[in-house]
Amino acid sequence: MSAESWLLTVAERGNPHTRLSAWSDGNAVRPLVHGSAYFDELVGEVEALQAGDHLFFTDWRGDPDERLRPDGPTVVELFTAAARRGVVVKGLMWRSHLDKLQYSEEENQHLGDDVEEAGGEVLLDQRVRVGGSHHQKLVVIRHPGKPTRDVAFVGGIDLCHSRRDTADHHGDPQAVQMSARYGDTPPWHDVQLRIQGPAVDALDTTFRERWTDPTPIDNNSPVAWLRDKLRRADLEADPLPAQPPPPPACGSQRIQVLRTYPDSHHAFSFAPDGERSIARAYLKAVPRARRLIYLEDQYLWSTEVARLFAAALRANPDLHLVAVVPRYPDVDGKLSLPPNSVGRQKALDVCRRTDPQRVHVFDVENASGTPVYVHAKVCVIDDVWAAVGSDNFNRRSWTHDSELSCAVMDQTVDAREPVDPAGRGDGARVLARELRLKLLREHLDRADDGSEDGGLIDPAEVIQTVRAAADALQAWHDGGRVGPRPPGRLRPHQPERLGLLTRAWAMPAYRLLYDPDGRSWEQRLRNRW
């Protein structure tokens, strides 16, 4: 199998100004499902850092008091302790909107202030389009002189409240305010990748490109600039230490680092026309699907994204789409709820018009019946190609905000039958198949060791297995919850149907505010990504 068949070439990335290579081989990748698993490993890696080592991070939201283990440390305790030991701690946080709008301006400021007081440096970055955000979630850890210990974490999990949940999904005791339908401690499902090998250097480069870019970090917000000046905030990035050589090969995974940066007059020098390699990666990989596209997503919005999946379904009569999404939006309210609902409803309608029998959408609940908020951003195609990142399946993530994702192709063929489910000669790959199975095992209450994988491996069987479990759980609920609760946590997703008048105002609000387009007008008119 040629890597160029699935992955973007340098030219196909569409950004000649970046220093990133096309991809790197020889990596070791381990998916970390749930914030508790990620946070535990992050604490271990950071606490092992010594003077002169590097700790770089980017985030959408950072809560200083979030406990990374049940008894701590908190985020701020972990990072400030590292800075006091002489670790080079550098961070880029989104400057954020106001807390009164349920964002995280104050939390991000406080984390940065505390880290800087300890000797590190955290900048609040507002180099975004109007209404946009920096959504990348990345931690890079380097040990100059000991490259085999280098590691990076990338995915959908922020260093903030509500993320430290477990497979039992009782929620994080330190919870953010959400829709009341998720309870006081909303259950939270999420995924992060732990990466070692040469790809760590590519992720280091991704951080350094943003850090060293000369564009002022508050240049599109005069009010924010004035407020930061008055509180004497750090607005200038200090020099970084020299970038260490790439770590040696240590595994069998090929990784392609993918990003979104918008086309903006506040341009980054490394992406003056933006970068949409995440969108382009899906435009290349999805048409290769023949049997099964499995995805988990917070939103699954946008007709533009839905048309890509619908085209693949039309072209391949044996292809099925399985999507796991939240049961409800994370917000309530007569003004905020409809725009959150109308986008998914329209996207699912686009897919289902192709063939409703091959589009399967589910949501998740815990053992008590409380819905689980799905925040993961995962896609697995034919057990060959997998992607995990910060990007959702919507136009905002593919064009407007800054995003970061990793496409992974394991060079080790999975020996379990069917060895080549798509029949293209690519062969199922260990990492992609095991990621899909790991997620389905949890959703169906199967053993995590693989001893109960019957009906989950072959695409010809997995649809029937998943639908049967979801239908049984739905029937149990419909019947008044009489008798033992069927195994599994998935239920068929029933999107909220909105009235004609509500859709009339919710759709423009959704398109303009919730799911904006970050492409230039020329790209929009020509439908180019």
Specify whether the CB–CB gap between 361 and 129 falls below 8 A.
no
Tokens 């048409």 locate to: 287
Is 265 part of a structural domain of the chain? no
Q: Which three-class secondary structure state does DSSP give residue 212?
A: helix
Residues 77 and 192 in one domain: yes
Residues 297 and 216 in one domain: no
Residues 242 and 287 in one domain: no
Query: How far apart, in whole angstroms, are the C-alpha atoms of residue 422 and residue 69?
Result: 41
Is 22 part of a structural domain of the chain? no
Residues 130 and 185 in one domain: yes
CATH number of the CATH domain containing 244 = 3.30.870.10
Residues 235 and 345 in one domain: no
Is 10 part of a structural domain of the chain? no
Cβ count near 12 (within 10 Å): 14
Is 16 part of a structural domain of the chain? no
Query: How far apart, in whole angstroms, are the C-alpha atoms of residue 391 and residue 409?
Result: 18
Is 528 part of a structural domain of the chain? no
Is 323 part of a structural domain of the chain? yes
Residues 313 and 414 in one domain: yes
Residues 375 and 463 in one domain: yes
Q: Which three-class secondary structure state does DSSP give residue 263?
A: coil
**Secondary structure of 361-425 in HEC code, one letter for each residue:** EEEEECCCCCECEECCCEEEECCCEEEEECCCCCHHHHHHCEEEEEEEEECCECCCCCCCCCCCC
Residue 264's pLDDT is what?
A: 84
Residue 220's pLDDT is what?
A: 62
Specify whether the CB–CB gap between 58 and 91 falls below 8 A.
yes
Residues in the chain: 529
When divided into structural domains, the chain yields a total of 2
Please say which residue of 235, 251, 267 terminates a domain: 251
Mean pLDDT by 10 residues, the chain (529 residues): 90 97 98 98 98 97 96 97 98 72 57 92 91 95 97 98 98 96 98 98 98 85 67 83 98 98 88 97 98 97 94 98 96 86 91 96 98 98 98 97 98 97 96 98 97 96 98 98 97 89 92 94 92
Is 123 part of a structural domain of the chain? yes
Sign of CA dihedral 433, 435, 439, 442: positive
Please say which residue of 236, 251, 266 terminates a domain: 251
The parent domain of residue 211 ranges over 30-251
C-alpha distances in angstroms, 279 versus 125, 169, 347? 23, 31, 16
Residue 216's pLDDT is what?
A: 87
